[in-house]
Amino acid sequence: MAGAEQINYLKNVFGNVDGYAGLLLLSYQNGESRCVGQRMLLAEDIAEYDIPTVDAFVTLNTFSSKTRRKEELVSLNALYLDIDTYSVGKDSGVVLAEMRKNDFGKTIPYPTYVVSSGLGLYLIWKIAPEGPEKEPVWGKTMRKLYSNLAHYGADNKALDAPRVLRVPGTVNTKRGDAEPVCVIEQHETDYLLDFIDDWVKNTKAPRKPAEPAKKAVPSKRDAGTRTAKPRKTGDRPRVVNKKVAAMRAEDIETLLLDKGEDVVGYREVGLFLYRHNLSLSGVSFDIALAKTLELNSRLAIPLSEREASQATRTAPDKVYGYSNTTLIALFDISPETQTQMKTIFSKEEKARRRRLGYGRNISRAEETAQKKKRITELRASGKTIAQVCAEMGISKATYYNLTKGRRKVSAQKTVATEPVVQKKIRRYRKKNTFRVIINRNIVVYKGSPAAQLPARTVRCFPSLAPDRSSLVRAGPSSRGQPAVFSSA
């Protein structure tokens, strides 16, 4: 039988409310949840219903039919936040003390209920029932409340109207132990939605301290100038790796299916990113939509086809650059789950895989040797460098690094540029004597040889290099001075 605390809580939340409230029963085994029952109960009768005492959840808003969907919303009865205090490494009592000191009555109104969820806290503000037309205002107010308390571990997935919360008087067995769910504080206050909306509009969420500005680092191109101008990148098209996009779609599919009954709150963004990555991998528009709807049908609690299509309609429109850090936070991916992912993992997991040689059956030296051998074979078959790079999936820079190839100066270019070289020769003429540096020695000529140039120019124009066989040593070089030669 339900205790007095549970009955009073349900009567207060659902008193004078129309519609059906959703009841959800879960079972946890090895950290995974499984739905064991779902029912829609009349709001006026729910307080008298014999709710099971283990892992029972109920919606605080009510619906028009026996379906817990946003489109069937009848009455908005409360605002709420799910504070996962363990996510910030603090005890629930410590977080509650900090909120009493810094937030209650300041950044947020005093909540009607503060409930211990077994692993965190629920903050619930009872409001006068509002119709579905106020849902945009309700949603905006929920997001503002969340932003004010996000630093305490508020869950950004628990901001939807069909959200279910644990019922006081039951126990939480998600982590194995039976943790009681109970009311910690109750303030006999009911609010108007517009009152709380005005309250949070006039408060500012705590800001993170500003990071010091980074100094601009001059590039090699700007070396020698006093100030380095930033490079203009413009609207460069993002390079898409189709293979990586396909593997990321597989990862998102695995994440959504593994969520089980907890998939609510992840469905819209998960299906959007799934369809988006399918499109990036080269799948056609119709096939990507069909696969997305097929995945939605396999979820423990699927969306309707219309909802799934609407939530993912803009997925193929552009390229979105979600980092792995963002995706890990978005889907609450644990380190254990990251070990099963192909593309979505943290820097720590990446380092772990490198240490173990993840996905590498041969050493890097052997892999490099195989690439060099393959390049040799392709070039011998008559393929161009561009064709070799395209077939092997490497850049031209990688090609030249592997082959150590250098472009040679043709004889035509040497002849074409000799007039320029002659101008440089005149710069080194002095009293019918010419000097040229060869292997760090100064060579002195009398008369008018073909070319007397610095070694840099001689290297560029081998045909103009003097014949060293016609030179004689003018004398031994003194310490620290180059040897001197003269013409015979």
pLDDT tens track for 273-304:
999 999 988 888 889 999 999 999 999 888 88
Q: What pLDDT, in 10s, does the model give residues 216-259?
A: 554 444 444 444 444 444 444 556 788 888 999 999 999 999 98
Is the pLDDT at 17 greater than 50? The verdict is yes
pLDDT of residue 204: 64
Is the pLDDT at 334 greater than 50? The verdict is yes
CA neighbours closer than 13 Å in the CB half-sphere of residue 306? 3
Q: What pLDDT, in 10s, does the model give residues 423-475?
A: 555 555 544 444 444 444 444 444 444 444 444 444 444 444 454 444 444 44
Higher-confidence residue: 33 or 153? 153
The Cα–Cα gap between 470 and 366 comes to 50
pLDDT of residue 69: 86
Higher-confidence residue: 335 or 310? 335
Whole-model pTM: value is 0.46
Question: For the residues 248-271, what does the mean pLDDT come to?
Answer: 89
Q: Domains of the chain by range and CATH?
A: 4-201 (3.30.70.1790), 242-356 (no CATH), 364-403 (no CATH), 411-487 (no CATH)
Report the relative pairing of strands 179-180 and 121-130 from DSSP bridges.
Answer: unpaired
Q: Which of 345, 367, 325 is nearest to 353 (CA)?
A: 345
pLDDT of residue 206: 57
Is the pLDDT at 418 greater than 90? The verdict is no
The count of other CB atoms within 10 Å of the CB of residue 23 is 21
pLDDT of residue 450: 42
Please give the C-alpha separations between residue 457 and each of 225, 452, 471, in angstroms, as whole numbers. Answer: 27, 9, 19
Is the pLDDT at 88 greater than 70? The verdict is yes
Is the pLDDT at 111 greater than 90? The verdict is yes
Is the pLDDT at 410 greater than 60? The verdict is no
Length of the chain: 488
pLDDT of residue 357: 66
* DSSP helix, strand, coil percent of the chain (3-state; round to 5): 40, 20, 40
Residue % of the chain over a pLDDT of 70: 73
Question: For the residues 2-11, what does the mean pLDDT come to?
Answer: 85
Is the pLDDT at 389 greater than 60? The verdict is yes
Structure confidence at residue 74 as a pLDDT band (50, 70, 90)? very high
pLDDT of residue 428: 52
